[in-house]
Copies of this chain bind each other. A is one copy, B any other.
Amino acid sequence: MLLDDSIGFLISRTGRRVTQLLALHLASTGITTEQWSVLARLCEEDALSQKELASRVSKDQTNVTRILDQLERKGLIVRVVNPEDRRSHLPSVTAEGRAAYGEIAPLEENVISLVTEGLTPAQLSTLKELLNRIADAAGRHLNDNKPE
């Protein structure tokens, strides 16, 4: 099978381009695309531990630690120690973080509309479902090799 026909390659390539375009539109905010995904998730769903947060954004916990470092350095979140379990931290979005979220959300929506401009809502919905199925299958096979 040629590279251009490999679904893995196509997903990666498309992801890189979309990310790059989003990065271009977010450049003025000083926030990276990955920082955005973490901030957005925290704004949508509060009181998550870092471990839970990592799972919710499908990132390695290690990477979440470092992305939170960046967001904390920028004053957009703070780490609060969980009183129930002092090992865990509950990242909390600051007022500045919420303001940034409000500013960035429409920028992201705009990029989404740019890259999906030729697609009907039905096609978009099909695409999302197919991607989710592949992500689920990959996740299952990843777990097959991990837990023991």
User: Is A22 at the interface (CB under 8 A from chain B)?
Assistant: yes
Number of copies: 2
Tell me if B8 and A135 are in contact (CB < 8 A): no
Q: Nearest B residue to A117 by beta-carbon distance?
A: B137
Tell me if B17 and A58 are in contact (CB < 8 A): yes
User: Is A104 at the interface (CB under 8 A from chain B)?
Assistant: no
Q: Which of A93-148 contact B (CB under 8 A)?
A: 105, 108-109, 111-112, 114-119, 123-124, 126-128, 130-135, 137-139, 141-142, 145
Main secondary structure of the interface of A (DSSP, over half): helix
A37 to B134, CA, bound (A): 20
A102 to B94, CA, bound (A): 53
Tell me if B10 and A131 are in contact (CB < 8 A): yes
Tell me if A130 and B127 are in contact (CB < 8 A): yes
A34 to chain B, nearest CB (A): 9
Q: Nearest B residue to A19 by beta-carbon distance?
A: B12
Chain B residues with Cβ below 8 Å from A67 are none
Tell me if B108 and A24 are in contact (CB < 8 A): no
Q: Which of A1-51 contact B (CB under 8 A)?
A: 1-3, 5-22, 24, 33, 37, 40-41, 44
A27 to B34, CA, bound (A): 26
**Pairs across A and B, CB under 8 Å, 8 listed:** A7-B112, A7-B124, A8-B15, A8-B112, A17-B139, A18-B135, A119-B133, A127-B130
